[in-house]
Amino acid sequence: MKLVVAGFGQCGGRIAEEFARLNKRARRHRGIEIVIDAFAVNTDSADLAGLRAIKTDYQHRILIGAGSTHGHGVAKISEAGAEIAKEDADKVIDAMRTTKQFFEADAFLLVAGTAGGTGSGVTPVMAQVLKQRFDKPVYALAVLPFEHEEETEERALYNTAVFLKSTYSVADAVILVDNQRYVRKDFSLKNNLDKINALIVEPFYNLLCAGEEKKVKHIGARMLDTGDIVNTLAGWTAIGYGKAPLPFRTLLSRWTGNFMQKSAQTHLGVQAMDEAISELSIGCSSQDACRALYLVSAAARMINVDLVKELGNHLKNLVPKAVIRNGDYPRGKGVLDITLVLSELSDVEKVRNYYSKSVDLAKEISKRQKVKASKVELTEEAGKDIPTLL
């Protein structure tokens, strides 16, 4: 599957950049393209300048709203981000169209942190415009705030709720990524975000590559292609990745017909699947998924009918309501890995909480805006008899 990736705001831009890196890796190691082009869009010129892997020209690092913000950002006001996007959407689309293979893309992936003003305001508007202009799926990758941000910044909650409601109503799927789930004790603060971003995009590597393989030896018995992904992604979505290192003896042995060995392989597969479930990008109940997809990837001799069947049975128990699609991808040597997508989730507790916590906030924020406006009227009224020098 080939994507056009656009990141909005600082977080979006940095993750779009990680997708550009993923493409370089696919090209170098596998000779295939999975990201046709990657763009970063921001109201803040300093954020755009800080990127590394996005091409440096103004058609890839796109500054919007310069007329109103002068390149200084919208300071967490998502309404301002949305207004700017309505005015400057054409600028972004014109830049995207300059990409040579633009029309070869299978889908758009729009990425943003939901807590800031630019990403949360611009993304839903761009998703709507892209849906209106092109006949391609539009997916959003929504990065939810860390716990400490939710506790201390009311705007983080409010922007997230507004983003989720608006984007869900226009995009084909919203892939939820909870920043808090990626925090690891062994990450130092400085390179924390870089590591988190790498972890966020990793599950997309095999998923996007599998259907683009041209060499027969890397094409599975059941190849997972773009159609499988498009038919799986719908509504609220979680993605996960798990791997099981192959024991030394399995690596050495060329004979896979042995019963003991087969059951050991199946066990590894189930282990990787369980890790993928526990490492999903958002906490959710697998029982709520109406669609699911898994891709098993390992050396060709490791993948056999029994393994695929066992994994299917295992997943069916975990996601009883879901239509399950699957594929195998003969790639790699020392590890067996599973990419898992749970989609069309009928409930996500975190989303429900954002909505319920933001109802009062929405009232409060609109009240404050009215008070501000009436104060302006008041000072104008009070000063009406004072002469002006202008």
The residue ranges that bind ligand GTP (CB under 6 A) are 9-11, 14, 43-44, 73-76, 113, 115-119, 143, 145-146, 149, 179, 193, 196-197
The first and second tokens of residue 245, run together, are 């290192």
Indicate whether 159 belongs to the interface with Mg ion (CB under 5 A).
no
What is the smallest separation between the CB atom of 237 and ligand GTP, expressed in angstroms? Answer: 17
User: Could you say which of ligand GTP, Mg ion, none residue 296 binds, taking C-beta under 5 to 8 angstroms by partner kind?
Assistant: none
The CA distance from 105 to 122, in Å, is: 22
Q: Give the range of 3-11, 28-36, 124-132, 312-320 binding Mg ion by CB under 5 A.
A: 3-11
Of 320, 318, 164, residue with least CA distance to 240: 318
Helices (H), ranges, the chain: 9-30, 45-49, 66-69, 78-97, 118-133, 147-152, 154-170, 192-201, 204-210, 226-232, 248-252, 259-278, 305-318, 349-382
At a CB cut-off of 8 Å and minimum separation 6, what does 181 contact? 279, 281, 282, 283
Smallest distance, ligand GTP to C-beta of residue 105, A: 24
Is the Cβ of residue 146 or residue 355 nearer to ligand GTP in the bound state? Answer: 146
Cβ 111 to ligand GTP shortest distance, Å: 10
Minimum distance, C-beta of residue 20 to ligand GTP, in the bound complex (Å): 14
Residue closer to ligand GTP, measured from CB, 74 or 129: 74
Q: 74 contacts which partner out of ligand GTP, Mg ion, none, CB within 5 to 8 A by kind?
A: ligand GTP
Using the minimum distance from each CB to Mg ion, give the nearer residue, 10 or 265.
10
Closest approach, Cβ 141 to ligand GTP, in A, equals: 10
Nearest distance in Å: CB 147, ligand GTP: 10
Nearer to Mg ion, 73 or 330 (CB): 73
* Residue 65 near which of ligand GTP, Mg ion, none (CB within 5-8 Å, type-dependent): none
Q: Are 123 and 110 in contact (CB under 8 A)?
A: yes
C-alpha dist (Å) from residue 94 to 17, 48, 60, 90, 131:
20, 18, 11, 6, 15
Q: Residue 124 touches which of ligand GTP, Mg ion, none (CB < 5 to 8 A by kind)?
A: none
Q: To the nearest whole angstrom, how small is the minimum distance from the Cβ of residue 76 to ligand GTP? A: 4
237 binds, among Mg ion, ligand GTP, none (CB under 5 to 8 A by kind): none
Task: Provide the 10 A C-beta neighbour count for residue 63.
Answer: 19
> CB within 8 A of 98, min separation 6: which ones?
59
Query: What binding mask, one character per residue, do residues 132-151 give for Mg ion by CB under 5 A, x or -?
Result: --------------------
Q: Are strands 3-8 and 107-113 parallel, antiparallel or unpaired?
A: parallel
Q: Are the CB atoms for 282 and 174 separated by under 8 Å?
A: no
Residue 245 CB neighbour total at 10 angstroms: 14
Q: Which of 19, 62, 70 is nearest to 41 (CA)?
A: 62
Task: Check residue 44 for interaction with Mg ion (CB under 5 A).
Answer: yes
Residues 350, 120: Cα–Cα separation, whole Å: 17
Report how far residue 86's alpha carbon sits from residue 107's, in angstroms, rounded to the nearest whole number.
Answer: 21
CB of 9 to Mg ion, least distance (A): 5
Nearer to ligand GTP, 36 or 141 (CB): 141
The reply on whether position 10 binds Mg ion by CB under 5 A is yes
Of Mg ion, ligand GTP, none, which one does residue 61 interact with (CB within 5 to 8 Å by kind)?
none
Q: How far apart are CA 132 and CA 112, in angstroms?
A: 20
Token pair of 255 as six digits? 């004979």
**Can you give the C-alpha Rg of the chain in angstroms?**
23
Give which of Mg ion, ligand GTP, none residue 123 binds (C-beta under 5 to 8 Å, depending on kind): none
Q: Which does 187 bind (CB under 5 to 8 A by kind): ligand GTP, Mg ion, none?
A: none
- Residue 232 binds which entry of Mg ion, ligand GTP, none, CB below 5-8 Å type-dependent: none
Which stretches of the chain bind Mg ion, using CB under 5 A? 10, 44, 73
